[in-house]
Amino acid sequence: MNGFLVLNEKDWENMTPEQKEWATFNTLQSMNERLKTLEKRPFHDKCFSFMGGIIGGAAAAVGIKIGS
């Protein structure tokens, strides 16, 4: 699967209960595959992401203190 099934309110209102169940199931399956892919990433990628979050959070904190 590549991408999510995107529906708007009008589409959802015109769907039968079976179509709604299928759309929900399909979306959950797509999300599950994406999470599996993320969890398989190498350990060093996870470490870099973690460090980036720390650096970004620190930069935001400094920016808030300077701006106040």
3-state secondary structure the chain: CCCCCCCCHHHHHCCCHHHHHHHHHHHHHHHHHHHHHHHCCCHHHHHHHHHHHHHHHHHHHHHHHHHC
- Per the structure block, which two tokens stand in for 55? 């650096």
- pLDDT confidence of residue 65: 84
- Per the structure block, which two tokens stand in for 36? 């599996």
CB 12 within 8 A of CB 20: yes
What pTM was estimated for this model as a whole?
0.52
Domain map of the chain by residue range? 9-67
> What's the mean pLDDT in 20-24?
91
pLDDT digits 0-9 by tens, 29-66: 988 998 888 888 788 888 898 999 999 999 999 998 88
